[in-house]
Amino acid sequence: MQLVLEKRAERSNTIALVSPLIAIGLTIVTMTILFLILGKNPLLALHAYFIAPLTDSYSLQEIAVKATPLVMIAIGLSLCYLANAWNIGAEGQFLIGAVAGSWIAVKTQGTDAGAWVLPAMLVLAAAAGALYALIPAICKVKFGASEILTSLMLVYVADLFLDYLVRGPWRDPNGFNFPTTAEFDPVATVPLLIEGGRLHLGSIIALLVVAAAAILLGRTIKGFEIRVVGAAPRAARFGGFNANQLIILTFAVSGALAGLAGIIEVAGPVGHLQPGISPGYGFTAIIVAFLGRLNPIGILIAGLFLALTFIGGEQAQIAMKIPLDVTKVFQGILLFYVLACDSLILYRFKLVFPNRQVARGAG
């Protein structure tokens, strides 16, 4: 007996729509088994992961706060992936954006600088993220160096650079030797949407980014070019579309969005620059992009769903002592199932039984 793939005559659109749901279902089944192995009650654990965070307003706000960077980064990554450019260094672009924006906050600390501070921080962070993403893009276009490896190497470099700054020149002298900058001034902080809550302006910015991406991909020539270059490179060449230019463009946009997400995270929920500002947002965003089928609205939903798993993971840790790494395992398994289910869109699975005569002959 053998599993064989058979190419479908045309894409199955029904499966394209339900495949993320099948993937989530399969992931939950797998997680149930994992919880049993860990000796935890799977029903309680699943409740802690997926239901409990939805039942109080604090957790709901927290989900939106966590989804904000995920959605912003994933929108940028989806543009790259649609154009067949493999930016997997969003984590580094996120960190560099956070560093660049923080520079203004640190320099204007306690100087009674005006309301220009936060906008300047956002712009500088986006520019820095874009420039950082352009390094692998240019290395790819000019020299043919694998953008996968170079963008990833730059994550480690960005991480070390941030570490150097907060342990060295930017360290808060009143910070009891902790590697952190001082708390940002109010003018350098992303304003809250609800007084006393956690929801901040960044979530609105993320929604605007989703809308902009939907318009770009659905309504403009550039969006059409991106999709054609990714889906049919040969056709794109005949159409006169410049694939290299699109690599540069999509990398720059995704770097800018990751950088923006970085400064919003630091100037918003975190409030100061320190190591460990990202629990792997740049990598989780890859899952968000695929789970959302590289579609802006899909990414918004996928971002909220993965944010739910982060919050649920924290609650499960507190309530049931389930290790936090289970969340990462969950995310990895989810990505596998999403990709496997995508295979169903293009192929039909068939079980083939070996020819009986051959079987008899062999026996």
Partner 1 sequence: MELVEAIILSVLAASTPLLIAATGELVTERSGVLNLGVEGMMIVGAACGFGGAWLTGSIFIGALLGMVAGTLMSLIFALMALGLAVNQVATGLALTILGVGLSGLIGAGFVGERITPAMHLYIPGLTDIPLIGRVLFGEDAFVYFSLALIIGVWWFLYRTRAGLILRACGDNHVSAHALGYPVLRIRTLAVMFGGACAGLAGAYLPLAYTPFFIPGMTAGRGWIALALVVFASWRPGRLVLGAYLFGAVTILQLHAQGWGVGIPSQFMSALPYLATVIVLVLLSRARTGGSTAPAALGTVFVPDR
347, 102 Cβ separation under 8 angstroms: no
The binder of partner 1 chosen from 239, 276, 323, 354 (CB under 8 A): 323
* Distance (Å, whole) CA 169 – CA 171: 6
Q: Which stretch binds partner 1 (CB under 8 A): 65-73, 136-144, 177-185, 206-214?
A: 136-144
Cα dihedral: 31, 36, 40, 46 (round 10)? 30
Q: Is 339 in the site for partner 1 (CB under 8 A)?
A: yes
Q: Is 306 in the site for partner 1 (CB under 8 A)?
A: no
CA 6 to chain centre: 32
- Write the DSSP string, 199-237: -BHHHHHHHHHHHHHHHHHHH-HHHHHHHHHHH-HHHHH
Q: Which of residues 1-20 bind partner 1 (CB under 8 A)?
A: 3-5, 7
CA nearest 277: which of 71, 97, 29?
97
> Which stretches does DSSP call E strand in the chain?
2-7, 347-352
Q: Which tokens hold the place of 196?
A: 């006393």
Q: Which stretch binds partner 1 (CB under 8 A): 122-130, 228-236, 237-245, 283-291?
A: 283-291
Q: Which stretch binds partner 1 (CB under 8 A): 112-120, 162-170, 200-208, 235-243?
A: 162-170
Q: Which tokens hold the place of 341?
A: 């289910």
The binder of partner 1 chosen from 286, 288, 308, 311 (CB under 8 A): 286
Q: Which stretch binds partner 1 (CB under 8 A): 8-16, 61-69, 155-163, 241-249?
A: 155-163
Give the per-residue contact string, 230-269, with partner 1 (x = CB under 8 A; - = no): ----------------------------------------
For residues 277-301, one letter each, b for 16 or more C-beta atoms within 10 angstroms of the residue's C-beta and e for the rest, the string is: bbeebbbbbbbbbbbbbbbbebbbb
The binder of partner 1 chosen from 10, 55, 143, 362 (CB under 8 A): 143
The residue type at 298: G
Nearer to partner 1, 224 or 347 (CB): 347
348, 341 Cβ separation under 8 angstroms: no
CB of 321 to partner 1, least distance (A): 11
At residue 349, the 3 state secondary structure works out as strand
Q: Is 145 in the site for partner 1 (CB under 8 A)?
A: yes
CB of 23 to partner 1, least distance (A): 12
The binder of partner 1 chosen from 54, 119, 343, 354 (CB under 8 A): 343
Q: Is 328 in the site for partner 1 (CB under 8 A)?
A: yes
CB of 351 to partner 1, least distance (A): 13
The residue type at 245: Q
At residue 141, the 3 state secondary structure works out as helix
Nearer to partner 1, 190 or 288 (CB): 288
CA nearest 14: which of 25, 4, 22, 24?
22
Q: Is 290 in the site for partner 1 (CB under 8 A)?
A: yes
Residues in contact with 37: Cβ distance below 8 Å, sequence separation at least 6, in sequence order:
none
Q: Is 170 in the site for partner 1 (CB under 8 A)?
A: no
Q: Which stretch binds partner 1 (CB under 8 A): 43-51, 102-110, 247-255, 329-337?
A: 329-337
For residue 182, what is the DSSP state?
P
Nearer to partner 1, 128 or 190 (CB): 128
Q: Which stretch binds partner 1 (CB under 8 A): 110-118, 147-155, 189-197, 198-206?
A: 147-155
* Distance (Å, whole) CA 255 – CA 276: 19
Question: With 0-12 CB in 10 A as exposed, 13-18 as middle and 19+ as buried, what is 134?
Answer: middle
CB of 78 to partner 1, least distance (A): 12
Q: Which tokens hold the place of 143?
A: 């020299």
How many residues touch partner 1 under the rule CB under 8 A: the total is 50
CA nearest 319: which of 38, 22, 52, 34?
52
Binding site for partner 1 (CB under 8 A): 3-5, 7, 86, 88, 135, 139, 142-146, 148-150, 152-154, 156-157, 160-161, 163-164, 167-168, 283, 286-287, 290, 323-333, 335-336, 339-340, 342-343, 346-347
